[in-house]
Amino acid sequence: MRPLNITVVGATGAVGSLFLKLLGDSTLPLASVNVCASQSSVGKTVQFRGKTLKIQLADELAFRDSDVAFISVDASVSKEIAPLAIAQGAVVLDDSSAFRMNSDVPLVVPEVNAEDLNGIHKIIAIPNCVTVPLVMALHPLHKENPIKRVIVDTYQSVSGSGKKAMDGLISETAAVLEDRLIDPLVYPHRIGFNVIPHVENFLDNGYSHEENKIIHETKKIMHSPEIYISATCVRVPVMIGHCESVHVQFNDPITPDRARELLESFQGIRVVDDLELLQYPTAVMASGSDDVLVGRIRQDISVENGLVLWLAIDNLRKGAATNALQIINCLVEKNLIGKEST
Ligand SMILES: NC(=O)c1ccc[n+]([C@@H]2O[C@H](COP(=O)([O-])OP(=O)(O)OC[C@H]3O[C@@H](n4cnc5c(N)ncnc54)[C@H](OP(=O)(O)O)[C@@H]3O)[C@@H](O)[C@H]2O)c1
């Protein structure tokens, strides 16, 4: 392959800055890397493979000659910027919810549905950071024993809302410890020393937008619209690392031992499940890891053919930046980008 030209939009953000670091640490041959953010960051610099890169505006010029545009900004901003990148011939790898449910946009977790990268795509979407661990854990089980129903409750860290929320958790926690009264900085309620059953806006049916995303993205990625899924998404005062409690009902009986075997042999999953040694996934354990951690695997005593699982993931890594880099590697392997010109 020839070295790639990559433009990163949102390069100062929680995901974008980590993506740049992972890209720099990777062995991917690169010809150029452009870094973009909002107007307020233009002129600031970031380090990349020992070089200093200047932040620029995400305009047409930023995408000239780009093979890939990794865009990690709010969905509304993505909708404006993605067409500029496409017009310059770049494949857009979008981290927001803007295009995920479009029928012509693959929504990809490479271990689960790399086969959906099957041609020249203008836009490829990266799933929500709570969808990724869910499909990673469900897919190897579903292949052996079809899943009928899933109930998932999430415990989501503040980094899932970006860098402002990370700063907000620190300020609010300090304020509470110092007995100072401050208004909530990012969420409708204080997150410091609190738990909030509200991630993104609420829809008419009482579910939140985030809950709706998990339900529909999971069905799309697994090509399984028939699975019944319900979700409750909760924000917790943790910096990095999302956890999920997952109740799964299968068509046929399945033992926790068989589920452990299937999960252990699935690329990208690490089973951490030893109650005697008090070993189970935690947000802190997941933070900094590219694996999806699975534990507390047990029979669900309340239904037929049911299992209960506990998941943890670094939402910024496998939930976003690592998954994006894996997709780029898939595109290279499938010769869909970086083709030598003939
Ligand atoms: N955080 C996660 O765990 C996670 C996981 C999966 C998906 N996502 C999705 O990834 C996206 C980014 O999330 P994040 O957590 O990284 O947010 P973030 O920390 O708030 O970063 C947002 C980035 O967008 C840039 N930006 C804002 N307006 C822009 C504009 N008009 N043009 C160009 N860049 C602009 C910001 O630049 P400035 O610094 O100049 O403001 C910043 O670099 C969101 O769609 C989010 O839903 C996040």
What CATH number does residue 93 fall under?
Answer: 3.40.50.720
Using the mean position of ligand 1's atoms as its centre, give its distance from the Cα of residue 95 in Å: 9
Atom of ligand 1 nearest to the CA of 242: 3
- Residue 145 CB–ligand 1 contact under 6 Å: no
137 and 79, same structural domain?
Answer: no
Find where tokens 């993605």 sit. 82
In a domain, 290, yes or no: yes
Task: Say what the pTM is.
Answer: 0.97
Q: Domains in the chain: how many in total? A: 2
In a domain, 246, yes or no: yes
Which residues does residue 5 pair with via DSSP β-bridges, in sequence order?
32
Clarify whether 242 is annotated catalytic. Answer: yes
Whichever domain contains 231, its CATH number is 3.30.360.10
In a domain, 165, yes or no: no
Give the rounded distance of the alpha carbon of 130 from its chain centre.
Answer: 7
216 and 147, same structural domain?
Answer: yes
- Residue 268 CB–ligand 1 contact under 6 Å: no
252 and 146, same structural domain?
Answer: yes
In a domain, 184, yes or no: no
Find where tokens 């990095």 sit. 240
213 and 139, same structural domain?
Answer: yes
Out of 121, 233, 242, 330, the active site residue is 242
149 and 123, same structural domain?
Answer: no
112 and 203, same structural domain?
Answer: no
118 and 147, same structural domain?
Answer: no
87 and 152, same structural domain?
Answer: no
Atom of ligand 1 nearest to the CA of 42: 40
In a domain, 169, yes or no: no
Structural domain that includes position 94: 4-127+320-333
In a domain, 267, yes or no: yes
pLDDT in tens, the chain (342 residues): 899 999 999 999 999 999 999 999 999 999 999 999 999 999 999 999 999 999 999 999 999 999 999 999 999 999 999 999 999 999 999 999 999 999 999 999 999 999 999 988 999 999 999 999 999 999 999 999 999 999 999 999 999 999 999 999 999 999 999 999 889 999 999 999 999 999 999 999 999 999 999 999 999 999 999 999 999 999 999 999 999 999 999 999 999 999 999 999 999 999 999 999 999 999 999 999 999 999 999 999 999 999 999 999 999 999 999 999 999 999 999 999 988 765
In a domain, 186, yes or no: no
Clarify whether 129 is annotated catalytic. Answer: yes
82 and 31, same structural domain?
Answer: yes
In a domain, 328, yes or no: yes
Backbone angles phi, psi at 337, to 5 degrees: -135, 160
288 and 141, same structural domain?
Answer: yes
118 and 85, same structural domain?
Answer: yes
3-state secondary structure 116-147: HCCCCCCEEECCCCCHHHHHHHHHHHHHHCCE
77 and 203, same structural domain?
Answer: no
Q: Comparing C-alpha atoms, which of 286, 297, 296 is closest to residue 319?
A: 286
